[in-house]
Amino acid sequence: MTTTESLEKLHLTDREYLHLEHAAAALRWDQETYLPPEGVAERAEQLALLEGIAHERLITGDTGSLLESLGSVSANPRGDESLDPLERDFLRIMRRRYDRAVKLPADFVRDAARAEGLSQAAWAQARRNDDFASFVPHLKTMIGFSRKKAEYWGFGKETLYDGLLDIYEPGMGAQEIGSLFTSLRERLVSLLKKIQLCALPNTSFLKQDFPVAGQSAFMQNLLDYIGFNRGRGRLDTSAHPFTTTLGSDDIRITTRYFQDNPLSGIFSVIHEAGHAFYEMGFPAELRATCLAEGASMAMHESQSRFWENIIGRSLTFWEGFFPSLQNMFPQQLGQIKTEAFYRAVNEVKPSLIRVDADEVSYSLHIILRFELEKQLIAGELEPEKLPDIWRKYTREYLSLESETDKDGVLQDIHWSTGSFGYFPSYALGNLYGLQFSQKLKSDIPDLENLISRGNFGPLHTWLADTVYRWGCRLEPAELLKKVTGDRIKVNPFLDYIEGKYRKLYSI
């Protein structure tokens, strides 16, 4: 078989695997948005079947031998140096997927997918009822599957969590993340204590009744304003905001609405749109291949956190778009000045809810979850005791008391789906995003003026040309180095946070 024929066969396997994964994603999206409650059990079986077929498609046949014939082995995943660089990057990702998949028994893959479907539904019900005890059996199951997966991949008892982190942030383990988070926590807690001695901005005008119908209509205007392509994506509602890719031209985002808290919907939509921009931004040569993914989940979060906070919570953004919000809610906001709204959306007031947290305290929510899931995977924390330990950490990190599990340990979907190791991505994304932002502002000096006029074209072009174009061809550290010339650091983010909020609170 020629090199060209071998590559064509691998690309066919990749496309079929991707189609199966997108079909499974469609079922999961439906489960989170429209599936009637009694459909959960069969949906879990459907997902188990699809995941099993996808797994078998990847590992059966001659995938392994084709990779080896092209020089792609675990020690040299990019294969023969004579190949086109794009094909070598394709081989690296295919080798990574194959090496992982081939170590997982087919029954394990199907059982894990089935358990995930049931666990996710159980979490949603437990959250509605504020009933953590009913979720514990499912949580234990998902912890067990996560541990076993890392074991299959060759990680020992002491490094199981590193194996799970590697799913989301290749090349970065718990020790390095812990070191970064220690530095983050010290300065953020110090800043938070200083802010808590200051007078808070007026936010009373945000505590009125904002009808959901009006919020929903405004979100469509918001998406159009920032350049979301509704020909390739759509917005729906779910219990927990998320973004999922059902195809190269089918990117779904969701949000949730609260009549007395319009900011929750606004900033979750901007956040998820940031994810969608990344997914929509991959160049033609990567689309419909395994290379059309973010370099890591932290890189993905760098885009969503960048849009949500650096863009969405800036004065320049609302100078251009606050009139649209006022027009939608004239009675509530018609007499409010843009500067007052800007100060209100940047209020620093620690919240029990992660997705509604301000910029200063948000990373503390992530560090809390990082510490707890490390203990869960290591077997150092029994799931039944999780609510009490959660409350303890919430007091220590945020000086808050969680009265219900709904607003505490049950607020996030991640552990119900077995996504242990995902949470650090959010705080790491803050760091990546700020370093990208510094380079962006250096390359486009009049960026703030453009944003104040609602001109996001140059911003989208810059992101496409510097970040999106690579997909997952580069490891996250490589991508950061290529764009900024530097490695991941905490100081740029902390300097930005301290500078912004010292000014806002006259510290």
Q: Are 407 and 414 in contact (CB under 8 A)?
A: no
User: Of 273, 323, 266, which is closest to residue 453 (Cα–Cα)?
Assistant: 323
Task: Collect all residues with Cβ–Cβ distance below 8 Å to 187 and sequence separation of at least 6.
Answer: 490, 494, 498
373 catalytic residue (yes or no): no
Q: Between β-strands 233-237 and 250-255, what pairing exists: parallel, antiparallel or unpaired?
A: parallel
In the set 32, 51, 87, 272, the catalytic residue is 272
Q: Are 167 and 97 in contact (CB under 8 A)?
A: no
Q: Are 129 and 405 in contact (CB under 8 A)?
A: no
Q: Are 91 and 79 in contact (CB under 8 A)?
A: yes
Distance CA 291, CA 473 (A): 6
Q: Between β-strands 243-247 and 233-237, what pairing exists: parallel, antiparallel or unpaired?
A: unpaired
Q: What Rg do the C-alpha atoms of the chain give, in angstroms?
A: 23
Q: Are 160 and 378 in contact (CB under 8 A)?
A: yes
How far does Cα 389 stand from its chain's mean position? 25
Q: Are 345 and 317 in contact (CB under 8 A)?
A: no
Distance CA 58, CA 99 (A): 10
Identity at 108, one-letter amino acid code? F
Residues known to be catalytic? 272
